[in-house]
């Protein structure tokens, strides 16, 4: 039986751990070759080595997604190494939380640069290859707070809302060239970051979730698989919530 992503090439930013790692494993499991990009080469290489055991072509790349020259160089290397690019998952992201009045300009700039500028730079760097082959899928990992906002996360919320706007604009600009762009807005997902929360904090979160539990990285990865594959060939410019019913 043919796998969903056989003969496809996927590029994942922030692929060295957490949700990015889960996405890399899910797409590779469906036959995709994977370029694992991360600011920490050791993390990216470990994931790439694990994926190679699945029998797919994979390679690790160290990249600072905020550096335009570096991103352009990495994008060129990826295209040279893999010949084509079918899927781009803009997942790299950070938080620097704090109330707006206490938030430093540096923390604002850093979060916007990594989360939003990084997605812009990778999209700009790889969309020409997709246009040339008349097809591709871009999946941006936004957040529920990009839709609802969240106290103490003005920078993060703004960056994720910006990703949603970027997604819709890219979808409009490149649909006629066969390139789709969609966003996923995860809710509370269990990662190393949420593992640091107290039990009381975790309960406060799960109490407002319809399904009464935190999501898993694989929940996000499954949604990415849908948007990356031909199962969603008539879906573009959309924001899919993976939030356990948090918004209902």
Q: So which residues are the catalytic ones?
A: 156
What are the strands, taking DSSP E only, across 49-186?
A: 58-62, 87-90, 136-141, 179-186
Pairing of strands 136-141, 179-186: parallel
Distance CA 112, CA 95 (A): 10
Crossing angle of the two packed helices 118-132 and 68-82, in degrees rounded to 10: 30
Tell me the sheet residues that pair with 36: 12, 60
Tell me the sheet residues that pair with 181: 138
- The contacts of residue 183 (CB under 8 Å, 6+ apart) are 139, 140, 141, 142, 163, 164, 167, 238, 239, 240
Task: Say if CB 141 and CB 185 are below 8 A apart.
Answer: no
Tokens 């160290």 — which residue?
A: 62
CB atoms within 10 A of CB 133: 15
What are the tokens at 135? 């097809």
């Amino acid at each position: 039986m043919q796998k969903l992503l056989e003969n496809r090439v996927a590029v994942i930013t922030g692929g060295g751990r957490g949700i990015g790692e889960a996405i890399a494993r899910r797409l590779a499991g469906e036959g995709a070759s994977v370029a694992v990009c991360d600011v920490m080469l050791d993390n990216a290489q470990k994931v790439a080595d694990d994926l190679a055991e699945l029998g797919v072509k994979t390679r690790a790349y160290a990249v600072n997604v905020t550096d335009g020259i570096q991103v352009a160089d990495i994008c060129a290397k990826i295209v040279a190494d893999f010949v084509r690019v079918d899927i781009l998952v803009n997942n790299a992201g950070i938080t620097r939380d704090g109330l707006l009045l206490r938030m430093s300009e540096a923390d604002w700039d850093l979060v916007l640069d990594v989360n939003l500028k990084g997605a812009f730079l990778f999209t700009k760097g790889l969309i020409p290859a997709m246009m040339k082959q008349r097809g591709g899928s871009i999946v941006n990992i936004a957040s529920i707070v990009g839709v609802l906002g969240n106290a103490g996360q003005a920078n993060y919320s703004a960056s994720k809302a910006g990703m949603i706007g970027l997604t819709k604009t890219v979808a409009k600009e490149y649909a006629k060239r066969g390139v789709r762009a969609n966003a996923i807005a995860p809710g509370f997902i269990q990662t190393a970051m949420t593992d640091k929360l107290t039990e009381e904090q975790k309960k406060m979160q799960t109490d407002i979730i319809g399904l009464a539990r935190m999501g898993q990285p694989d929940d996000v990865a499954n949604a990415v698989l849908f948007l990356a594959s031909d199962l969603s060939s008539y879906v573009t410019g959309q924001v899919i919530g993976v939030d356990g019913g948090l918004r209902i």
